[in-house]
């Protein structure tokens, strides 16, 4: 743990990136430490892929600093310690799986053997096949094999399980855990909360190019361990919003929706002030609602 705080593998400091009028990243600080799995969560368009692009040197930074193993990501020596799985690899369909692996292994100083790659990524029987002839799940496994074939110290996985069925997703999770067990650090982007919960030590939530929250999965959940109260009432949402324990109140589909850090005092007061209050409903916010809440707060 002491080592963890001192050894930063990849870092963004005050990173800003703009595409034309669109601000993709608006000053993000992100650190990935040795030995950890960091999940970067956020809705589509939040800036997750841009953050990865910066760390890999695919995107030039407008403002701020980016470092990979203490160097510029354009440094080949730094990138040799990194394995990459992008959302879209665009691999030509007429590439053979074995050729892809051999070419990619060749970029690294101490690559894994082909047999190891096959075993880790589950490519049995696929080496002689054309990439274009594989199913979506098989293609994803090939991409995963390309990410791990160089025996990287750090893996970038940009939405690795998007489009996979449950079984394939869990198989990939097992493989990622195995690599982590061997000492590999992982930076993972996802919009699946289960994925962050299943794999990550630490979660960073970003939205609209800003870091909204950061901490362990439990911390993130605790931070938004709110209750969600819905009811039909003649009370005004703005008034309720000013009550103690109420974090937000809004009108949705003719009902008032209240987010509170403690439900009981709010409900007591609601019932006292509006005797005709109806359709009362109280829910505990799950991680996925917590996440929605966090990104909505930031918006």
Partner 1 sequence: MNIIAKVGPGQLVGCYLREARYEFMRLARTPAFVLPTLLFPAFFYLLFGVVLSRGVTSVDAGRYLLATYGVFGIMGASLFGFGVSVAIERERGFLTFKRALPMPAGAYLFAKLIMAMGFAAIISIMLATLAASVAGVSLAPWQWLALFVVNVFGTMPFCAIGFWIGTMASGSAAPAVVNLIYLPMAFLSGLWLPLKVLPDVISRFAPIWPSYQLSQIALGVVGGGTGGSPVVHVLVLLAMTALFFTLAQRRLAASGRLPGP
Using CB under 8 A as the binding rule, whether residue 94 contacts partner 1 is answered as yes
Number of Cβ within 10 Å of residue 160's Cβ equals 27
Torsion (CA) 175, 112, 145, 89 in degrees, nearest 10: 140
If the CB atoms of residues 74 and 236 are measured against partner 1, the closer one turns out to be: 74
Q: Rounded to the nearest 5 degrees, what angle is found at the Cα of 252, between the Cα atoms of 250 and 257?
A: 50
**Phi, psi angles (nearest 5°) of residue 287:** -65, -35
10: β partners: 32, 68
**How many DSSP H helices and E strands does the chain contain?**
12, 13
From 106, 133, 136, 244, residue interacting with partner 1 (rule: CB under 8 A): 106
Using CB under 8 A as the binding rule, whether residue 109 contacts partner 1 is answered as yes
Binding map of partner 1 across residues 18-57, x = CB under 8 A, - = no contact: --------------------------------------xx
- To partner 1, the closest distance from the beta carbon of 71 in angstroms equals 12
Binding map of partner 1 across residues 232-271, x = CB under 8 A, - = no contact: ----------------------------------------
Taking the C-alpha atoms of residue 229 and residue 140, their distance in angstroms, rounded to an integer, is 41
| Residue whose structure tokens are 């709010």 | 266
If the CB atoms of residues 122 and 150 are measured against partner 1, the closer one turns out to be: 150
- To partner 1, the closest distance from the beta carbon of 137 in angstroms equals 19
- To partner 1, the closest distance from the beta carbon of 192 in angstroms equals 22
At 277 the three-state DSSP class reads: coil
Q: In what order do the strands lie in the sheet with 22-33?
A: 22-33, 8-19, 63-68
If the CB atoms of residues 28 and 56 are measured against partner 1, the closer one turns out to be: 56
Taking the C-alpha atoms of residue 72 and residue 82, their distance in angstroms, rounded to an integer, is 13
Binding map of partner 1 across residues 119-158, x = CB under 8 A, - = no contact: ---------------------------x---x--x--x--
- To partner 1, the closest distance from the beta carbon of 89 in angstroms equals 5
- To partner 1, the closest distance from the beta carbon of 130 in angstroms equals 8
Residues 6+ apart with CB under 8 A from 15: 25, 27, 28, 29, 30, 51, 54, 61, 63, 64, 65, 66
Using CB under 8 A as the binding rule, whether residue 160 contacts partner 1 is answered as no
> Under the rule (CB under 8 A), what is the footprint of partner 1?
56-60, 74, 76, 79-80, 82, 84, 86, 88-92, 94-95, 99, 102-104, 106-110, 146, 150, 153, 156, 183
């Amino acid at each position: 743990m002491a080592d963890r705080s001192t050894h930063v593998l990849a870092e963004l400091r005050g990173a800003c990136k703009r595409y034309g009028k669109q601000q993709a990243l608006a000053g993000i600080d992100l650190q990935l430490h040795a030995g950890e799995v960091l999940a970067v969560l956020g809705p589509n368009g939040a800036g997750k892929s841009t953050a990865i692009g910066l760390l890999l040197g695919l995107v030039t930074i407008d403002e701020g600093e980016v470092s990979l193993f203490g160097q510029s990501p354009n440094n080949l020596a730094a990138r040799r310690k990194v394995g990459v799985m992008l959302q879209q690899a665009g691999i030509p369909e007429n590439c053979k799986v074995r050729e892809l692996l051999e070419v990619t292994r060749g970029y690294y100083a101490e690559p894994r053997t082909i047999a190891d790659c096959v075993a880790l990524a589950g490519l049995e029987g696929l080496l002689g096949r054309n990439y274009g002839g594989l199913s979506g799940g098989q293609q994803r496994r090939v991409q995963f094999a390309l990410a791990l074939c160089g025996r990287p110290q750090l893996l970038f996985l940009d939405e690795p399980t998007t489009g996979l069925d449950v079984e394939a997703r869990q198989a990939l999770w097992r493989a990622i855990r195995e690599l982590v067990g061997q000492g590999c650090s992982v930076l993972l982007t996802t919009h699946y909360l289960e994925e962050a919960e299943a794999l990550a030590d630490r979660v960073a939530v970003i939205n609209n190019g800003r870091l909204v929250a950061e901490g362990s999965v439990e911390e993130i959940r605790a931070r938004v361990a709110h209750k969600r109260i819905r009811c039909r009432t003649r009370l005004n949402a703005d008034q309720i919003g000013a009550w103690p324990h109420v974090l937000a109140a809004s009108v949705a589909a003719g009902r008032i929706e209240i987010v509170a850090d403690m439900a009981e005092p709010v409900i007591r007061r609601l019932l006292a002030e509006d005797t005709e209050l109806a359709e009362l409903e109280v829910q505990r916010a799950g991680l996925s609602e917590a996440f929605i809440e966090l990104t909505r707060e930031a918006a």
